[in-house]
Amino acid sequence: MEHIRLGYLLIMTCIILGIATATIPPLFFPKCKGCGTRNLIGKNKCKKCGYDLTENFVSMMNHKENN
pLDDT, tens digit (0-9, with 9 covering 90-100), for 43-62: 888 888 988 887 655 565 56
Q: What is the pLDDT of residue 53?
A: 80
Point out which residues pair with 31 in neighbouring strands: 38
Q: What is the pLDDT of residue 64?
A: 55
Return d(Cα 48, Cα 36) in angstroms, integer.
9
Q: Give this prediction's pTM.
A: 0.51
Under 8 Å between Cβ of 51 and 35: yes
Q: What is the pLDDT of residue 20?
A: 92
Whole-angstrom distance between the N-terminal and C-terminal Cα of the chain?
Answer: 52
How many Cβ atoms are within 10 Å of 32's Cβ, its own excluded? 20
Q: What angle do CA 28, 39, 33 make, to 5 degrees?
A: 105
What one-letter code names the amino acid at 46?
C
Q: What is the pLDDT of residue 6?
A: 93
Low-confidence stretches of the chain (pLDDT beneath 50): none
